[in-house]
Amino acid sequence: MKTQLPAKYFQLLFLVLMVAINLSAQDNAADSVLNERLSAIEKDIHYNKPGQEHFLITGLATVGFSAQKINNTVDGFTTREKTNSLGDVDHFEFSPMLLWRHGQKLLMEFEPSFSDNGLGVNWADISYFAAPGLILRAGYLVLPFGTYSKRLAAGWIDKLATDPMGIADMTPTDYGIEMEGGLPLGKMKMNYDIALSNGSQLMNDGTISSGDITDNNTNKTLTARLGWLPFSNSTLELGISGMFGKLGDAGTPFANASGKMYAADLNYVNTFQPVLVNIKSQFNFQDITGEPYPDPRDPSQTYSFKNHTSSSFIQCALRPTGAGKLIRNFELAGRYTHFDTPANSLFGSRQSSVAAGLNYWLSWRSVVKLTYEAYKGKSTASKFLDAYTGLTKTSALYLQFAIQL
């Protein structure tokens, strides 16, 4: 005969089982939450590696001393002037760069700059890393014309204390959109950079200005550069650039004015033990359609000239990186620059300069530069427009410190 347990024992056993199941579920839920939190922390630690934070402030600074002797000769009469500047009035710059990354695809860049007694903006843009070898960008851009302004102009990169005349001036910064990237070609490589921007504006004296957020006409300017690296070790890069667009204000006598610009550049860096050889060069050409400009003496009259501008430089630096600890930090640099502006205009000139320098590298991104530069400029402006028609010779000495922060 079987013994029947009272119902209350079954109720007690059921209650104990329910409590145990509930406690087990709570433990599992707690473990799951804990595991999720640990996983999130691990991902955050992996994502925020040094130098890859969501928000980063970097930048550059250039400061120094300059002393100049200036001789101006007009109609056989020469005036002499000496100047000097602590801080180096023409080349002082303090430019913090703010970088904000949103996930893996979006990057915001903003670089304000204090220079020449004023605050400006070097660039401000948003980049989208669409695919390997493809970056899309929009905002206030340094246009891809040549390589100097976009790659070499920073004080800690430039081998001499001054910029080559006319090179940076002919590369505008403008509002637009850009597509940039590169791809392999077997053992060779190529890169491309294409931008569409508001374009420059032709002024009443034949010069051009740029960087206006409001376009002065309904046309856009196309700028493009193609780079080719023919060697597998990427020691040599050759580049060609073009810029094409309308310049005139709509509804004015300049409405059909347009400009064409071309550039060729070279970058060669290689070590021939124990010396590192660094050669840079760029050639710029600009042609603007002939237009009737108002005569500054009588605005009811007009004059015209062939609006052709050219600029070029070649630079070489030698650094004995394979020598002893002290010697390898020194670097010798030299540069020749030529800059021609339109003859018979208000600003026509033929200019050239020779610069030589000795640099001492404190680290890979901080340098002290001693540069001597001799400049000669002969006016080719129209004397009938009461423009300056003299000869200027300048010798200058610069002591400069530049750093990337």
Whole-angstrom Cα Rg for the chain:
31
Q: Is there a contact between 373 and 354 (Cβ–Cβ < 8 Å)?
A: yes
> CA nearest 254: which of 263, 246, 262?
246
Say yes or no to pLDDT of 228 above 90: yes
pLDDT > 70: percent of the chain: 87
Q: What pLDDT, on the 0 to 100 scale, is given for residue 54?
A: 85
297/291 Cα distance (integer angstroms) = 17
Say yes or no to pLDDT of 40 above 80: no
Say yes or no to pLDDT of 6 above 80: no
Q: Is there a contact between 388 and 404 (Cβ–Cβ < 8 Å)?
A: no
Residue pLDDT, tens place only, 122-170: 999 999 999 999 999 999 999 999 999 999 999 999 999 999 999 988 8
Non-local (6+) Cβ contacts of 129 within 8 A are: 104, 105, 106, 107, 135
Peptide bond into 96 cis (omega under 30): no
Q: What pLDDT, on the 0 to 100 scale, is given for residue 20?
A: 53
Say yes or no to pLDDT of 12 above 80: no
Read off the DSSP letter of residue 21: H
Q: What pLDDT, on the 0 to 100 scale, is given for residue 389?
A: 85
> What are the phi and psi torsion angles at 223 (to 5°)?
-125, 135
> What are the phi and psi torsion angles at 205 (to 5°)?
-100, 0
> CA nearest 254: which of 212, 310, 208, 222?
208
Domains and CATH numbers, the chain: 72-404 (2.40.160)
Per-residue pLDDT band for 251 (boundaries 50, 70, 90) equals: confident
Say yes or no to pLDDT of 300 above 70: yes
Residue pLDDT, tens place only, 357-380: 999 999 999 999 999 999 999 999
Say yes or no to pLDDT of 324 above 90: no
Per-residue pLDDT band for 104 (boundaries 50, 70, 90) equals: confident
237/368 Cα distance (integer angstroms) = 27
Q: Which residue has the tokens 């002082």?
A: 92
